[in-house]
Amino acid sequence: MSERPVAPDRRRSSVGSTASGGGAGPNDPGGAGRRSRTVVSVAVVDSLVGARLRLHVDGVAAGGACVARHEGRVVFVRHALPGERVLAVVTEDRERYLRADAVEIEDASPDRVPAPCPYATPGRCGGCDWQHATGVAQRRLKAEVIAQQFARIAGLDLDGTVGPLTVEELPGGLLGWRSRITFAVDAAGRPGLHRHRSHDLEHVASCPLGVVGVGDTPALARSWPGQTGIEAVRGDGPEVTLLAHRPGPGRQARGRRPPDRVSVVEGPPEVRHTVLGRPYTVAAGGFWQVHPAAADAFAQALLDALAPQPGERVVDLYAGSGAFTVVLADAVGPSGSVIGVESAAGAVADAERNLADRPWARIQRARVDAGLVAGLVAEVGPPDLVVLDPPRAGAGADVLRALTAAGPRAIGYVSCDPATLARDVAAAVGAGWRLAGLRAFDAFPMTAHVECVATLRPETHPDRADHSP
């Protein structure tokens, strides 16, 4: 049932017809010489934005919402949990679906807990999705989303393919894990975090997801006129770096804002990290996993799944600052080789520095596409192993087909988006490969995001030994 708002918004649909002005046509003496014009009739349809709906919440959906239904339409409900009965306020009304926030919980799930952050409520900060759920429930919901995406996009039943999937907890708990946060800055110079699906800012005193010095950075109490954002970054040490984001020059396609110009305001220009005991130095504004335990977990997962051997050839795509490239180089040793590929100039510089004492490994600046893969194979021969860690958009079907055609004995795919991972796995399966393993990690607690490490192997590979454990 729904309770209509007092003054609902209106949606308009226009129907046009051609007629002459005042009913006179071009042959009418009273309208001679007049042009016909379009008469538009407007049908006004009530929007449900602002309406209060009583809903029974079904399962989880991708993106941090749950699914309910109202008069035949799907409703994506935030701040709810499966099995609950809630009173929800509609925030978006689209032709085929609604979005809503649960504002009253009439029958609560046993998985519900009070949100630890005062800003994690309907209409306020949009950075978190699951603060109202236990950690166990959050990880279970993420596992369900991964399974849904693989079934829908790749046509794979994960239980039957790789066995029951669990999302693994990383050390450190649900709070105090983000080593990097970029706070947006409004026109008045005040920092904050974006509200859900909005350009509006929630001005926060702190963010409990941040590590000490990042979530509670004193920068939140200062004014930053002329900036688009202020970013707090911390490595393994206690030092915190502040980076100012300023508008970049020009405009990108479709009117998008160009990349920010980023400069160090306070603190060291470089931060230090370790991965499986190996030291790394990375520019403060460079890419690194935001969870302090993530790089260790992903690197070890790759080693466990791929078992790189001394003397093997490895290609590491989307190599970033070399987090995996260094680990892989140590695994194959001086008798092997590793080529890392990365498109960002700053990350390439960091990777070169981190690989400096491993001459059998090198980094190449290039964009990853099918042509690049073919070129690498022509230059150095087919790789034994491939590792890739693409951005959220994934590598794409063309790249996966090129990689499988190169004939490695296995591919390790690190992904922060189950949907694009499932799409790319489907391309590999279509090329005669199989999903041989899948692990998932809760590298972003309290949010809908999850990291996966997938292992792909050819159905048959008579020419190479399989060193998998």
CATH number, residue 55:
2.40.50.140
pLDDT higher than threshold 80 for residue 407: yes
- Identify the CA nearest to 418 among candidates 441, 434, 384, 398: 441
Mean pLDDT score, 22-45: 42
Same domain? For 90 and 48 the reply is yes
> What whole-number distance in Å separates Cα of residue 327 and Cα of residue 312?
13
pTM, entire model: 0.88
Domain annotation covers residue 117: no
> Which pLDDT does position 46 carry in this prediction?
81
Same domain? For 236 and 371 the reply is no
Domain annotation covers residue 222: yes
Same domain? For 80 and 165 the reply is no
* Secondary structure letter of residue 228 according to DSSP: S
pLDDT higher than threshold 80 for residue 461: no
Residue 318 is encoded by which pair of tokens?
A: 């989307």
Mean pLDDT score, 114-119: 98
Residue 416 annotated in active site: yes
Same domain? For 85 and 225 the reply is no
Report the CATH number that the domain containing residue 436 is assigned in CATH.
3.40.50.150
Domain annotation covers residue 131: no
Domain annotation covers residue 191: yes
Domain annotation covers residue 306: yes
Domain annotation covers residue 301: yes
Same domain? For 167 and 215 the reply is no
Same domain? For 3 and 92 the reply is yes
> Is residue 129 very low, low, confident or very high in pLDDT (cuts 50, 70, 90)?
very high
pLDDT tens-place string over residues 301-331: 999 999 999 999 999 999 999 999 999 999 9
> Is residue 30 very low, low, confident or very high in pLDDT (cuts 50, 70, 90)?
very low
Domain annotation covers residue 296: yes
Same domain? For 223 and 352 the reply is no
Question: Where in the sequence is the domain holding 303, given as residue range(s)?
Answer: 147-171+291-458
Strand partners, 101: 78, 89
> What whole-number distance in Å separates Cα of residue 191 and Cα of residue 215?
13
Least trusted range by pLDDT, from 95-99, 125-129, 257-261 = 257-261
Total structural domains in the chain?
3
pLDDT tens-place string over residues 367-388: 999 999 999 999 999 999 999 9
Same domain? For 303 and 261 the reply is no
Same domain? For 214 and 88 the reply is no
> Which pLDDT does position 257 carry in this prediction?
75
> What whole-number distance in Å separates Cα of residue 300 and Cα of residue 147?
23
Residue 349 is encoded by which pair of tokens?
A: 């510089």
> Which pLDDT does position 38 carry in this prediction?
47
pLDDT higher than threshold 50 for residue 5: no
Domain annotation covers residue 77: yes
pLDDT higher than threshold 60 for residue 403: yes
Least trusted range by pLDDT, from 185-189, 259-263, 442-446 = 259-263
Same domain? For 165 and 188 the reply is no
Q: From the candidates 66, 207, 416, 452, which is the catalytic residue?
A: 416
> Which pLDDT does position 26 carry in this prediction?
35
Same domain? For 201 and 344 the reply is no
Whole-number average pLDDT of the chain: 91
> Which pLDDT does position 468 carry in this prediction?
53
pLDDT higher than threshold 80 for residue 464: no
pLDDT tens-place string over residues 228-248: 999 999 999 999 999 999 988
Same domain? For 26 and 62 the reply is yes
pLDDT tens-place string over residues 250-305: 776 666 778 889 999 999 999 999 999 999 999 999 999 999 999 999 999 999 99
| 275, 296 contact by CB (below 8 A) | yes
Q: Give phi and psi for 179, each to the nearest 5.
A: -90, 0
Structural domain ending residue among the three candidates 265, 300, 320: 265
Strand ranges of the sheet holding 97-107, from the earlier edge strand across to the other edge: 2-3, 52-56, 85-93, 97-107, 73-78, 65-70, 60-61
> What whole-number distance in Å separates Cα of residue 343 and Cα of residue 317?
10
- What's the sign of the alpha-carbon dihedral 199, 202, 205, 209? negative
pLDDT higher than threshold 60 for residue 459: yes
